[in-house]
Structures are given as structure tokens and as C-alpha cells.
Amino acid sequence: MNTDDFAYDFDAPDSDWNYEPSRADLFRQIDAPLYTTDSEGWLTYYNEAAAQLWGFRPVLGKARWCGSWRLFEADGTPLPHELSPMALALKGCRAIRGLQLGLERPDGSRMAFMPYPTPLRDATGAVVGGSNILLKVERASLRIPFRGALQGRPTLRAAQIAGMHRCLA
């Protein structure tokens, strides 16, 4: 075997063996609606799928807790953004799972979704932000006030009562 038959270029600029994509590059590859916030809940990033779900493009750094125009509890009760799943996750320093909510877009259309807010931590364990993936719930039986299809689901008010509103750290 003659080693002159092989050509190796260890300094190739397009070599991706040590490539680490940015967080935004990684998030762009996810088809589901997702967004991130800083530790105070101000939006720092959202993908195209999130903008389509919300029906508009909130301004980064000016929208807080989520990008939805309006939020609703499972029983149709309006939900203030400061009580949104992301707000509770960041304030409580823990992920929130198993909730189903409704959102209203600026054009008045409504839909159900399930949020998965998760605090992001630095190397010391301090919360430095949050990420949230939003899964659309598509049911033909869903009605505008979100009654019926969402009834019986855990509510954010129940999550607050369970103690998720205070940071444990």
C-alpha cells in the first residue's frame, strides 16, 4: 500500500469535524413553534413556526413571557401573560408540563396548544433564561370559548396552588 495515494487536508476551512452550531442554528432546524427568553422573561428568540402560530411577530426584548396575543385557561378564562406557563417556569425555577391552553391571534382566530416551558441554567445552576416549545392541539370539536375540549385539564391556577410560583433556589 502506497501512502502517496491518499490526500489529507487537515486544515480544510470547510471541515466540519469540530463545528458547533449556534443555538439559533439549532433552533432553526426544529419545525415546532419555539421561543426563548432571558431570565426576566423578555423574548430573545422565536422561530418562524412560532410567528405563524401566534399570527404576528412580537418585538424581541419588548414582549414578555410569551409571544401570544392573548391567552386563555382551559375553561376559557383569560390568562394574564404574567401567569403564563413561561412566567411560572421562570419564577418557579422548574419545567411545567401537562397543561393545555388556548391562544387568540390578532385576527381573532383561536386555537389550543400545549406549552413545554423549561428554565435554562448556567454552569452554577442559576436560571439564565427559558425555552418553550408549543405544540398545536388540532381537534375539530374545539369551540371558541375552549370549553369541552380543554375541560378537565390541569390549570395554571392549580399549578400556582401546588407551589410552582416561587423559585426553590
* pLDDT category of residue 169 using cuts at 50, 70 and 90: very low
Q: What confidence score (pLDDT) does residue 20 get?
A: 77
Over residues 116-148, the pLDDT tens digits come to 999 999 999 999 999 999 999 876 444 444 444
Pairing mode of beta strands 78-79, 70-72? antiparallel
DSSP annotation of 160: I
Q: What confidence score (pLDDT) does residue 141 get?
A: 43
Q: Is the pTM of this model over 0.85?
A: no
Residues paired with residue 128 on neighbouring β-strands, in sequence order: none
* More confident call, 50 vs 76: 50
pLDDT higher than threshold 50 for residue 166: no
- Give yes or no for a contact between 37 and 90, defined as CB atoms under 8 angstroms apart: yes
> What CATH number is given for 23-164 in this structure?
3.30.450.20
3-state secondary structure of 75: coil
> Distance (Å, rounded) from C-alpha 33 to C-alpha 159?
23
Q: What confidence score (pLDDT) does residue 75 get?
A: 84
